[in-house]
A and B are shown apart, each in its own frame.
Chain A
Amino acid sequence: MLKYTLQRVLYMIMVFFIITLMCFVLIRMLPQPILPPNDPHTEVLEMRREALGYNEPYLVQFARFLEGVFTKFDWGYSEKLYFGRGVWSVFLEKLPATIIVNLYSILWTIPVGIALGVLAALKKNTWVDYFISTITMVVISVPSFVYAFLIQYIFCFKLRWFPFLMKSGTDWFSWDMFVSMIPAVLSLSFGVIAGFTRTTRAELTEVLTSEFMLLARTKGLTKAQATVRHALRNCFVVVVPGIFGEFIGILGGSLIIEGIFAIPGVGGLTLNAINGLDYNIFMLSTVFYTAIGLAAGLVVDISYGFIDPRIRVGSKK
């Protein structure tokens, strides 16, 4: 297992480096916006580009980028979107809002989603199952921004239970902040609940009809005991990686939901950096999410072995 883990880490570092290099080059290959040829502002911008070294060969620039990151943890300064500000500080400033909203969302969506899935599986082919499954399909089929507008219209505009936008400030754990986040949390939640419900129901339904479940019952276990001790555990082989994925997803914001509820998070950061050709912002967010994604993949793979002892790394013959 240790050997496998180390091997995966090495591969991960290689992939990480390749992705970073590709992103570094690709963002610089995007065409610069056409500037008026005789506008003196164009001249100033070109002077600055030259001074920043953006006209040097890509590999020279990449070497300087790596040097800055590895020797000084210097990710550079924003040249477009947040002119003059260090991109690391911008990223750190925007991360908490995304994390908090996503955290509130998954804290209730995972238990609710699993519970509904279990309920639907246990009540398979009853009206309860039909109702849950139908609602699940509807919710999965509709994009989250549709809920967002509906929630905003009904709860914020018509009923006036919540503010339209997330509250300004950094008092993340205050009551007012929590209340102001509820519309966004709800908007993010429906799809996740539906996803877990569907997965759990499908897996549990299959497990409940397995022969070992019959054996467990014949051994004298009650239905509840057999379900909790054997069926749930088996269906979690599929569900748990999803939970890991959701936790990893905490760090990645939703462009649309954050826009609708004015959440000052990282949701639109990468896309805005590409549109604005803000190289340093783009590289930081890309590197960050690439690292998170690769690490998540590794953790999920390793976690299989802990959840289901039958899963082991295959050996080469």
Chain B
Amino acid sequence: MKKTFALLLAVVMVLSVLAGCGPQGNTETTSGTQGTQAPTPSGTEGTEGTTEPTLGTLTGEAGHYTYYDYTATLSASWNPHTYQTTDQAYPLDYTSSGLYSFIFNDANHPIEGKDPFTGYVIVPEMAAEMAVDVTEQVRAEHPEFGIPEGETEGYAYSVKLREDLTFDDGTPITAQTFVEGMKRLLDPRFQNYRAADVYDSSNTAPIVGSEDYFKQGHQYYEDNGSLKIPMDALAPGEDGQYVVTDAVTGANAMYQGCKVYIAVDVPITWTGGEDTLADYVEAYGDAYFGMDNWDTLLGLADEDGVVPCTEENLALLSSVTTTNPNWGETDADLFNYLLIDYTYPDGVDYDATVGYYAASDYELVSVFTKYVVGFDVYYGGLQDTLVLVDPAKYDACLVESTGADGNTIYSSTYNTNVDTAVSYGPYKVDGYQTDKSIHFTKNENWYGWKDGNHTYVDPEDGQTYDMYQTTDIDCQVVTEAATRLNMFLAGQLSAYGLTSDDFEQYRNSEYTYASPGSTIFFFILNGYLDTLQEREAAADFDQTTTDLETMTLKNFRKAFAVSFDKNLFIATTSPSYTPGFGILGDTYIYDPDTSAFYRDTDAAKQVLCDFYSVDPADYASLDEAVDSITGYDPVAAKELYAQAFQDALDAGYITDNDGDGVSDQTVTLTYSISTSTDIQTKRINYLNEKLKEITEGTPFDGKIVIVESAPCGDEWSNNIRNGVHDVVLGGWNGSLLNPFSLMTAYVNPDNAYDANWFKPDNYPVTINIDGEDVTMSLSKWVAAINGGVEDDNGVIRSYGNDDLDTRVYILAQIEGAILQTYDYIPMINDGSYAMLSQKHYYVTDEYNPVLARGGITYMKYNYDDAEWVDYIASQGGVLQY
């Protein structure tokens, strides 16, 4: 019995193991796991019985040029309609092409006044020629697309496609293929994440009708704080509930007849975007609100947190928000608490609605909701082809499941394994294993191999070379930096991103390249006096020894801003970065046509001189003056701390009861941390050390301390916005080619970190335009530089399409105004360092913000794969860098 049991148990164990390891019949597994794909030329994809190893024991074929890449997280799905992160989009970099592409300027594509490979030009890629403006024609032939009357350019473009476009399996691509891709992207049943890219009104070139098509049949509560429909355009309907009247015109006319609700427990723009009125009332109660009718109003809210807007309910709302002067609102502000109940019309016909259609087999027309011209046409408008999918394969990959209320939910296995992978770019996926590796090889059906256009003239030897010398790309998941470094030194990776541990040894290697980033990290300094006073009023706060309010004083903030040597700060805490001095970093391009950098302009330089009190007259040139800036001025800092001390005494924030000229209280700033790390601790220690040094002999001698907050994860930004924490290193990036639009992040209350204490709508800025001093609020200047706005005198100020010199000048003044708030104290310009393997070299060492150093398109090789193996062996298996 016992022997039988033991035998049975052993058999069950072995069978379980073998069963778990057998081939799987599920159609969603990769070809690699099923062993059905033919071995690839490089043998990277392991198939059953394949004996060719990939990495580790490098083997190489002559004439093959493999780029060995690594990633910490391998994309499990690179569906162009659903990807959410850059990691997920990684394979698309190789398997797709754009309608137009950026290439370096060279002898064949010269830019006047620029050396080869110092700028870029835009050339047709999948397009046969540059786009043609067909606004007038489309307006006449397709009134349904609503191009404004009188507009003759900038709203519709026609792109003539190449006639030899195919997917990697040879299936032809025509203009209708693009349209089919767009139909699927916007199909409301699929709820594709990337659909928003097409209709988002804040984008450069939203497609006409795309939002109506995508959202058809959906009901939304639109935030009237954003729509800004005034109260006099609302009136009670037959049932007593307010509706939007015919008085509303323009873009908001679509809301006519829609019912209105009060947002009682719904996050709205007016309450910061993430909080609700209920959050505020529950937090502050009768200190700020009229509480007599609050419970009644809250009790009326349905499960969505809304209350029908009637005369009676509006009166309840008014009694809550307008009766307490501390909240400071009147009935004129009530419209901000309202929501418009809007349901997008159902049964929308794509052809009659969406401005993206095929005019012929090879002519694709895009109609935009905005005026789009020049560089934006190609960069934000037509460059992106990620709507393109293989319709047949896409449909075959759809998976249905049942969701809430029995509705059908669609998922897709498109681009999740070799079988469902589709390419129309220079490479195709021929090996993939989930969470392990992906392998690309040349897509033989890509038009670019034979069209003669994909060449460049080398700036060194003047010879013409083909682009895309790389034949294979092998990407492995390598999670540990130590493993990456060892693999790199053993010749098994093509590049290696340096970590802080490697800097000392490899920073000065001839194979190390610095790549500046676009983000400026600044100290965001708490200026929210109300919250600071509330924190001081807490029972456990000792006001005799500690103070918070002083940090809101301008002189204190100015002193804080010049208390740290940014170079030393970087060297101590973030060696891969460079110092940051302005709101905008070194890589921002203000003129995409000439790739001119904002930071190189005189206006931008002057702003830094003004902010850091450097007089250019003291230097031989403006450049020298800027180069002298360190951001550190101990003399000025001490004077400012002394002035801040007096200001704080006058304001009653601190005391000096013993009359020793030193504050009785320690100004304590809480540094917000998401997770506790060594680098955060090192930063805080460094700041405290320098504050102690610089306040020596001042009234704040040893009386300014930065303490670490409890780890708060993603809440750090809310804690800063709400004044719960006092300082953090944060930043904005994006809009690399449009620094003008990035300024909106500093005036939009949804984004701005200082929205609770800095009101850009009320912050006047005077800028001299063509000899005239123009004064508007900061918000209006930002609006004016990105389009147009009416100033306080009713004059339209529109600089969005003005000459670039004027725009740059205004941009610089806006940057200066933001710096002068001392809410943002620039510290770090991000960047990275990476080593490139001896197998490769870049065609140019200069870093270009758009093209970097050319990427895979221009990657050059010293050795083919076979030669590389021999070379490594000749070096004893470990390469010296």
Taking Cβ atoms with an 8 Å cutoff, the residues of A that contact B are 33-34, 36-41, 43-45, 47-48, 50-53, 55-56, 74, 76-78, 81-86, 88-90, 92-96, 99-100, 103, 149, 152-153, 156-157, 160, 162-172, 174-177, 180, 247, 250-251, 259-260, 262, 264, 306
Report B1-20 residues with CB < 8 Å from chain A CB: 2, 5-6, 13, 17, 20
Cβ A77 vs Cβ B411 within 8 A: yes
CB-CB < 8 A to B480: which residues of A? 149, 259-260
- Cα A156 to Cα B486 in complex, Å, equals 9
Chain B residues contacting A164 (CB-CB under 8 Å) are: 55-56, 478, 483, 486-487, 490, 492
Specify which chain A residues have a CB less than 8 angstroms from the CB of B24 in the assembled complex: 89, 92-93
Q: Are A89 and B20 in contact (CB under 8 A)?
A: no
Contact: A34 with B32, CB < 8 Å? no
In angstroms, how far is the closest chain A Cβ from the Cβ of B590?
A: 25
Q: Is the CB of A169 within 8 A of B483?
A: no
* Chain A positions within 8 Å of B17 at CB level: 99, 103, 250
11 contacting pairs across A/B (C-beta < 8 A): A37-B267, A37-B274, A47-B191, A77-B401, A94-B434, A167-B54, A168-B45, A169-B45, A171-B48, A176-B53, A259-B479
The interface residues of chain B lying within 8 Å CB-to-CB of A93 are: 24, 26, 29-30, 33, 434
Q: Would A180 and B26 count as touching, CB distance under 8 A?
A: no
- In the assembled complex, how far is the CB of residue A136 from the closest CB belonging to chain B, in whole angstroms? 27
Instruction: Tell me if B's interface is mostly helix, strand, loop or mixed.
Output: loop
Given contacts A160-B877, A175-B51, A262-B479, contact A168 B431 (CB under 8 A): yes
Tell me the count of chain B residues lying within 8 A, CB to CB, of chain A.
89
Write the B483-510 contact mask toward A (1 if CB under 8 angstroms, else 0): 1001101101000000000000000000
Q: Which of A83, A169, A262 contacts B32 (CB 8 A)?
A: A169
With A169-B50, A247-B13 in contact, is A44–B436 under 8 Å at CB?
no
- Extra contacts, 5 of them, besides A48-B191, A170-B23, A306-B2 (Cβ < 8 A), are A40-B196, A74-B401, A170-B35, A180-B56, A260-B483
Point out the residues of chain B lying under 8 angstroms from A82, CB to CB.
76-77, 416, 434
Interface residues of B, Cβ cutoff 8 Å to A = 2, 5-6, 13, 17, 20-24, 26, 28-30, 32-35, 44-51, 53-57, 76-77, 79, 82, 84, 88, 191-193, 195-196, 199-200, 218, 226, 267, 269, 273-274, 397, 399, 401, 403-405, 407, 409, 411-414, 416, 431, 433-437, 439, 476-480, 482-483, 486-487, 489-490, 492, 714-715, 717-718, 750, 877-878
By a CB distance below 8 angstroms, the chain B residues around A76 are 401
Give A215 Cβ to nearest chain B Cβ, in Å.
Answer: 24
Task: Given A83-B77, A168-B436, A168-B437, answer yes or no on A306-B226 (Cβ-Cβ < 8 Å).
Answer: no
Q: Which residues of A contact B403 (CB under 8 A)?
A: 51-53
Q: A160: nearest residue on chain B (CB-CB)?
A: B877
B405's nearest neighbour on chain A, judged by CB, is: A53
Min CB gap A186→B, angstroms: 15
Measured between alpha carbons, how far is A317 from B84 in the docked complex, in Å? 64
CB distance from B627 to the nearest CB of A (A): 37
How far does the Cβ of A30 sit from chain B's closest Cβ, in whole Å? 11
Is the Cβ of A171 less than 8 Å from the Cβ of B486?
no
Asked whether, in the complex, the Cβ of A169 is within 8 Å of the Cβ of B193, the reply is no
Residue ID in chain B nearest A166 by CB atoms: B436
Q: Does the CB pair B404–A84 fall under 8 Å?
A: no
Q: Is the CB of A165 within 8 A of B55?
A: yes
Inter-chain CA distance A149–B479, complex, in Å, is 12
A172 to B407, CA, bound (A): 41
Partner of A168, one of B54, B82, B195, B404: B54
Interface centre among A45, A52, A93, A162 (most CB of B within 10 A): A93
Smallest beta-carbon distance A267→chain B, Å: 10
CB distance from A80 to the nearest CB of B (A): 9
- Give the residues in chain B near A94, CB-CB below 8 Å: 434-435
Whether the pair B46, A170 counts as a contact (CB closer than 8 A) is yes
Report the separation of the CA atoms of residues A39 and B274 in the bound assembly, to the nearest whole angstrom.
12
Which residues does chain B contribute within 8 Å of A103, judged by CB atoms? 17
The minimal Cβ–Cβ distance linking A174 to chain B, given in whole angstroms, is 6
Q: Please determine whether A176 and B32 come into contact, CB atoms closer than 8 angstroms.
A: no
Chain B: which residue is nearest A248 at the CB level? B13
Shortest distance from the beta carbon of B66 to any chain A beta carbon, whole Å: 14
Report the bound CA distance from A45 to B192 in whole Å: 9
Say how far B775's CB is from chain A's closest CB, in angstroms: 29
Q: A51-B404, A168-B44 are in contact. Are A86 and B26 (CB under 8 A)?
A: yes
Contact B714 A34 (CB under 8 A): yes
Contacts of A52 in B (CB 8 A): 403-404, 409
- Which of A53, A167, A176 sits near B404, CB closer than 8 Å? A53
Asked if residues A86 and B20 are in contact (CB atoms below 8 Å), the reply is no
